[in-house]
């Protein structure tokens, strides 16, 4: 068994960072800090993509890294932050109960993710294939966040974190999807955030709050 190269080890560090940020997001109560964490996750993602591009000589991954940096570190967090300021809820705190249970469930999900990723990692030929388990864990933790939170904004941040996990899965298992597809995904994401933004205003107009506790008129009787 040979020692993994320095670049690979560094990639693993970045991957571990992504996972840690996912856990931090799970427990973060302040919306402003959640957005900052999301931007950090994007930054690590961009850095890891760049590193893969250099070590594996994949030219299209340079564009991918630049796109991630522009979209996930700058544009989306900026849009979200502006929205929060316009809505006057940037400093809001979301009450969270049972953080410790949430963390334990999260841990179980990570173990499950590594088990599930095993056969795929064995098949993949990339230098980063070991990171696939982490990518899947990030995805599952984002799910957990969407389920556990009751505020519209945090659910959206959860979906964006989910997308980060998917993107990381794509780069670590296959050196990224073809450029056309990646651009399409980025476009959908951007439009999605705009639509969410419009939604926030509608929700607040009708319910006077962005708390989804008020959403209970559509239930089976």
Residues that bind another protein (CB under 8 A): 116, 119-120, 123-125, 136, 139, 143, 146, 152, 155, 159, 162-163, 166, 169-170, 173-175, 177-178, 180-181, 184-185, 187-188, 191-192, 195-196, 198-199, 202-203, 205-207, 212, 214-215, 217-218, 220-221
159-179 CB burial, b ≥16 within 10 A, e <16: bbbbbbbbbbbbbbbebbbee
* Minimum CB–partner distance for residue 113 and another protein (Å): 11
* Minimum CB–partner distance for residue 134 and another protein (Å): 14
Tell me whether residue 100 or residue 166 sits nearer to another protein (CB atom): 166
Q: Give burial (CB, 10 Å; 0-12/13-18/19+) of 7.
A: middle
* Minimum CB–partner distance for residue 2 and another protein (Å): 22
Q: Are 146 and 158 in contact (CB under 8 A)?
A: yes
Tell me whether residue 2 or residue 221 sits nearer to another protein (CB atom): 221
Tell me whether residue 102 or residue 124 sits nearer to another protein (CB atom): 124
Q: Are 17 and 47 in contact (CB under 8 A)?
A: no
Phi then psi for residue 93, to 5 deg, are -115, 130
* Minimum CB–partner distance for residue 96 and another protein (Å): 19
Q: Give the span between the Cα atoms of 156 and 128, in whole angstroms.
A: 28
Tell me whether residue 24 or residue 192 sits nearer to another protein (CB atom): 192
* Minimum CB–partner distance for residue 173 and another protein (Å): 5
Tell me whether residue 13 or residue 187 sits nearer to another protein (CB atom): 187
What string of H, E and C letters represents the secondary structure of 14-75?
HHHHHHHHHHHHHHCCEHHHHHHHHHHHHHHHHHHHHHHHHHHCCHHHHHHHHHHHHHHHHH
* Minimum CB–partner distance for residue 121 and another protein (Å): 10
Tell me whether residue 101 or residue 118 sits nearer to another protein (CB atom): 118
């Amino acid at each position: 068994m040979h020692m993994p190269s320095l670049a690979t080890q560094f990639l693993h560090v970045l991957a571990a960072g992504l996972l840690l940020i996912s856990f931090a997001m799970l427990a973060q109560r302040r919306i402003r800090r959640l957005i900052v964490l999301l931007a950090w996750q994007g930054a690590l993602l961009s850095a890891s993509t760049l590193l893969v591009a250099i070590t594996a000589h994949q030219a299209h991954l340079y564009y991918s890294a630049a796109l991630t940096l522009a979209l996930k570190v700058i544009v989306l967090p900026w849009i979200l932050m502006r929205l929060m300021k316009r809505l006057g809820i940037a400093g809001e705190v979301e009450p969270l109960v049972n953080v410790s249970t949430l963390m334990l469930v999260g841990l179980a999900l990570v173990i499950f993710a590594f088990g599930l990723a095993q056969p795929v990692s064995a098949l993949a030929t990339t230098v980063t294939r070991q990171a696939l388990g982490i990518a899947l864990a990030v995805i599952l933790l984002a799910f957990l966040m969407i389920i556990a939170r009751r505020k519209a904004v945090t659910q959206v941040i959860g979906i964006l974190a989910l997308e980060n996990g998917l993107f990381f899965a794509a780069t670590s298992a296959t050196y990224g999807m073809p450029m056309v597809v990646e651009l399409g995904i980025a476009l959908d994401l951007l439009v999605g955030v705009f639509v969410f933004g419009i939604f926030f205003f509608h929700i607040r107009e009708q319910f006077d709050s962005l708390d989804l506790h008020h959403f209970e008129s559509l239930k089976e009787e």
